[in-house]
Structure 1
Amino acid sequence: MILERLEQLPVGSFQYKLLFITGLGWLFDSMDTGLIAFVLPVLAKEWSLTPAQVGWIGSIGLIGMALGAVLAGTLADRIGRKKVFTITVLLYSLSTGMCALSWSYESLLFFRFLVGFGLGGELPVAATLMSEYAPSHLRGRFIVLLESFWGIGWLVAACIAYLLIPAFGWKIAFAIGTLPALYVFLIRLHMPESIRYLISQNRIDDAKQIILDLEAKLRVKSQPFATELSDTEKGKKATAAPKFATLWSKPFRTRTAMLWLAWFGIVYSYYGIFMWLPSIVYAQGFAVVKTFEYVLIMTLAQLPGYYAAAWLVDIIGRKYTLSLFLLLSGICSFFFGNASDASSLLAWGAAMSFFNLGAWGVIYTYTPEQYPTTIRALGSGWAAGFGRIGGMLAPMLVGLMLGNAMGMNTIFMMFASVLIIVSAIVIGLGKESKQKTLEELETVLES
């Protein structure tokens, strides 16, 4: 009865406020990732770092993200989504501030690891909380809109880098990164705990009170609750812990392999390209200010990429949109790596950004739909976690390739190849899931 009333709530100010609050978490995460990308070329010059050392600064955060995602996800099932969300926001914002006080290369690596740990923990918890409150018929749209805050965060980072770093130095970027700590107070005031989590912990009265409060805010006439839980809610309490081996059992092994490879390819290409993008543009001979300006223009293309993907997923489908955006991102990467002048660099960079970030929006929608409820969180978490391995490897590999005097065209040929291969894997192994309820998908997927 509790979950039925949650699903029947009209879409209104509560859902959009929750989207805004969780979206701010994604914005701050993206802002931090963008800031380190813009800081790297300045820092490398000031500290005389080798390309390999610069690559480690990018990769150490991804190692922290992988560990943070696993541990925070486990902790969120024990102490609640809201508490873990708050803790991880505090951790990454305060650690970002500590980066401004770094006294050596090694100390910066340590603080970047802590930042990554907080970021990795916050992202899946925010997405879980949003999905557990979004109405089922609009869940895909809400998740894509949540993901679009990542693009806004990169724009904020680009503006900070463009306006402040040339005048005040790289430390100002990290100092600004402490501001999300203030955001914790907004979380505490306006974010409720997940009702599904409360039911799983047998905190039925707390779950009922949240429903009553929401119905009052949305002006829905409240009815007394039944004394017994529905069969669905009893199942929420009694569900056994999902097993990793189930992901590789006969009904699921193909889509698990497809998702793991898709996540690896998209994370590998994203962090390999965008973590190094300001440095690569700078290496082409543009001044620092001009570099930030060019990357800002490329970053602006991310937002229409998200919205185009959000529109296409319900028209041509998740599978075809994801494959198409990966393919076009790969093609654009090739031409970006072979750009010979500023105009072509900007044009291909913007197109690459458009399609790569659009693919991100689709994969966050597509992944949970590939598993039934009993293993949905497990399957989604492992797919994203495996993808983080790509994020760890790519920045280091680019650093090594630059250190060995490999050109921009060689590096982007590699990224183009990865994206095109992954596009083919999705189109060949993926199963379409558009215009189906989660219950309909469960019947299809488990057959």
Structure 2
Amino acid sequence: MTITTRKAQPTVAARLERLPLTGYQRFIFLIIATAWLFDSMDLAAMTFMLGSIKSDLGLTTAQAGFVASASFIGMFFGASIAGLAADRFGRKPVFQVSMIVWGLGSLLCGLSSGYNDLFIYRIILGVGMGMELPVALAMVSEFIPSQQRGKYAAILEGFLPVGYVFAGILIYFTLPLVSWRGVFIILAVPAAALLVIRRFVPESPRWLESHGRREDANRVISQIEDQVRKRLQGAELPAVAVDEITADVDLVSGRNLGVLTTLSELVNKTYGKRSFMIWTVWFFTMVGYYGLSSWLGALLQESGYEVSKSIIYTVIMSAAGIPGFIFAAWFLEWAGRKKAAVVMLFGCAASAYVYGQCASLKLPVEQVVLAGAAMQFFFFGMWCIIYAYTPELYPTRTRATGAGVASSVGRLGSIIGPLGIGVLLPVIGQGGIFIGGAICFVVAALTIWIMGIETKGLSLEQISQ
């Protein structure tokens, strides 16, 4: 529920919202974003190595589809667990545990001996990646002031195309030397360093306050204010506006919400429509995006391009996602989340259709790469907006759960997408596959257009009411 505080007791939200954005908040963001970058590299690895893994292990097209979907099965469970755990036990401990699971999964993938091992270890890797995403989204939303929140959430997702590019470059140079198993081992190394660095990220004071731990919340927000003063060279901080300040608190002050209570809040009268809308969006965008992206390099090889060239072409196409997320970070603050998401989703649909036609007609490689670059521009820009939009729809007490459940529903789509292509590719060809992906993006766009709410410029507490 929501309570109004007294003037003498400004909320954590009010104290956070009035802080200037300094190097300290950017430092917290950079730690979260760095972890996101390496997660993205692990996720992108299959895009570049699926063809090689398929050839090396002698997999059928259907088996390759299962391997491509395995990490998404793990992400489904990871996102489901992490959202509930982060809302119950805190953002920070779940944030750190995700590193351990992710690093272990990547290492085991490198030590796998065959199809069955690789399938199981990719699931473990996916659990770690799935755990991080909703927690990272919640933390960025809760630390960054509302006027900058959307931009920084979009920039966070922008590390996904950067991760794809870095993964492609790494794999291009190391795959011939250490094989795909060695690449997975290399990708496990950053987990150990990030596990140490993440200790510098404080617990979310908004989460502490929402669970009745006001003394802990005041201590953390005071530490944040001290760090901001240092960055401002001792200058006075802006005054706290305490009139009409509200805080999201638990139904039972000082206690954690039960799992069933937390989940039921996602579908109650206040948040049920939002949940149905964002679940639908996540499901259809995941079917389209991961269905097409996981197979991008392998489909180029199916069209006759050699492994090294298919990696280079995929890197070039993925690089177009960098200006895509930069554009999206500006666009969502200018036009608003809802309009920006609709425009980018329709762009995804149109560009996916065009790319599919170029690839299936075997047009000159320059045209195929250009069409693919346009597709990745809209893909990554679209994800920036949806990742920024999702955690804003829920109150602090259920924000990580809301983002986690939406991500889990989406992971069902990400499982269906790559697997479905493995089954349907021999039947309907590349052109049909990309038409199907385009339809998925249209459905998602229409869902936000009809049912979405606008959150631009509002504090998280205002949106939750």
The counterpart of 1:11, out of the listed 13, 21, 26, is 21
Cα deviation 1:120-173 (Å, max 9, x = unaligned): 001111121222211122211121111111121111111112222134321221
Hey, what's the Cα distance between the residues in 2 that align with 1:337 and 1:179? Answer: 36
Deviation at 1:243, TM superposition (A): 4.8
Hey, what's the Cα distance between the residues in 1 that align with 2:87 and 2:446? Answer: 36
The counterpart of 2:83, out of the listed 67, 73, 76, is 73
Hey, what's the Cα distance between the residues in 2 that align with 1:206 and 1:17? Answer: 22
Deviation at 1:353, TM superposition (A): 0.5
The counterpart of 2:324, out of the listed 290, 302, 305, is 305
Deviation at 1:234, TM superposition (A): 8.7
Hey, what's the Cα distance between the residues in 2 that align with 1:334 and 1:57? Answer: 25
- Percent identity among equivalent residues? 34
User: Within 5 A, what are the aligned runs for 1:186-205?
Assistant: 186-188=197-199, 190-200=200-210, 203-205=213-215
User: Within 5 A, what are the aligned runs for 1:10-409?
Assistant: 10-180=20-190, 181-188=192-199, 190-200=200-210, 203-219=213-229, 232=246, 235=249, 238=253, 242-250=261-269, 252-339=271-358, 340-371=363-394, 376-402=399-425, 404-409=426-431
SS in 2 for 1:178: helix
Cα deviation 1:48-98 (Å, max 9, x = unaligned): 101111111121211111111111222223433222211111211122011
Say if 2:247 and 2:461, in contact at 8 Å, map to a contact too: no
TM-score (norm 1): 0.90
Say if 2:289 and 2:437, in contact at 8 Å, map to a contact too: no
Deviation at 1:231, TM superposition (A): 8.4
Hey, what's the Cα distance between the residues in 1 that align with 2:335 and 2:146? Answer: 20
Structure 1 segments of 4 or more deviating over 6 A?
Answer: none
Say if 1:247 and 1:256, in contact at 8 Å, map to a contact too: yes
Could you list the runs of 5+ residues in structure 1 that have no partner in the other structure? 224-229
Say if 1:215 and 1:222, in contact at 8 Å, map to a contact too: no
Say if 2:345 and 2:445, in contact at 8 Å, map to a contact too: yes
Greater mean alpha carbon deviation, residues 345-354 or residues 232-241: 232-241
Q: Which residue of 1 aligns with 2:241?
A: none
Hey, what's the Cα distance between the residues in 2 that align with 1:26 and 1:113? Answer: 18
Hey, what's the Cα distance between the residues in 2 that align with 1:273 and 1:199? Answer: 42
RMSD of aligned alpha carbons: 2.4
Q: Which residue of 2 aligns with 1:410?
A: 432
Structure number with the bigger relative contact order (C-alpha 8 A, sep ≥ 6) is 2
Deviation at 1:374, TM superposition (A): 6.1
Deviation at 1:310, TM superposition (A): 1.6
SS in 2 for 1:158: helix
Q: CA, structure 1 residues 46+375, in 2 after alignment: closer, same or farther (shift >3 Å)? A: closer
Cα deviation 1:292-324 (Å, max 9, x = unaligned): 110000010111111111211122222221111
Hey, what's the Cα distance between the residues in 2 that align with 1:310 and 1:358? Answer: 8
Could you list the runs of 5+ residues in structure 2 that have no partner in the other structure? 1-9, 238-243
Say if 1:212 and 1:222, in contact at 8 Å, map to a contact too: no
Amino acid of the residue matched to residue 62 of structure 2?
A
The counterpart of 1:429, out of the listed 451, 455, 463, is 451
SS in 1 for 2:304: coil
Say if 2:78 and 2:129, in contact at 8 Å, map to a contact too: yes
Deviation at 1:360, TM superposition (A): 0.6
Hey, what's the Cα distance between the residues in 2 that align with 1:119 and 1:398? Answer: 23
SS in 2 for 1:315: helix
Hey, what's the Cα distance between the residues in 2 that align with 1:439 and 1:234? Answer: 7
Hey, what's the Cα distance between the residues in 2 that align with 1:334 and 1:318? Answer: 24
TM-score (norm 2): 0.87
